[in-house]
């Protein structure tokens, strides 16, 4: 399963706030055909309800529970924000948009969490020189 492709990775992103980051991550999922535009609105709505910041410089925006039926296929988008973006008092340097079918949501979430919990892996991700390098780190570190 290829849930991460070059088209869904953006390095050296600058955003004005977390909502711009959430929308950008969501748009990549829309362009890849994983979700319709309405899902991006649900991602923003989820962020307004509670922050999707998980700690260690990682935020994982995703839709609300009622947006599950909108998801056409499991996919992930990745934004690397070198300056960081404020997610409710915490800075996220890695923003991962997520749309997952059925039970795959928790599987993907926990795989990513395990990967970035290693400081060394997180540093390698943030230092990626190109999309291929970043994808290789994810493929090597995630049990997908």
Instruction: Verify whether residue 34 is a known catalytic residue.
Output: no
- Reference 28, options 120, 100, 114, 96; nearest CA is 96
Which DSSP category does 96 fall into?
E
Q: Which of 8, 34, 42, 62 is catalytic?
A: 62
Number of Cβ within a 10 Å radius of residue 6: 10
CA distance 61 to 143: 20
- Tokens for 57? 């410089």
Residues serving a catalytic function are 62
């Amino acid at each position: 399963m290829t849930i991460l492709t070059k088209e869904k990775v953006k390095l050296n992103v600058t955003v004005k706030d977390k909502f711009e980051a959430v929308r950008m991550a969501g748009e990549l999922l829309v362009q890849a055909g994983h979700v319709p535009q309405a899902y991006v609105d649900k991602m923003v709505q989820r962020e307004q309800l509670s922050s999707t910041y998980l700690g260690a410089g990682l935020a994982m925006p995703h839709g609300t529970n009622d947006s599950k039926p909108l998801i056409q296929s499991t996919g992930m988008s990745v934004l690397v924000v070198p300056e960081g973006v404020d997610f409710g008092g915490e800075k996220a340097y890695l923003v991962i948009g997520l749309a997952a079918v059925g039970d795959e949501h928790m599987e993907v979430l926990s795989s990513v969490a395990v990967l970035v919990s290693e400081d060394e892996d997180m540093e390698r991700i943030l230092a990626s020189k190109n999309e291929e390098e970043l994808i290789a780190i994810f493929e090597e570190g995630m049990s997908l």
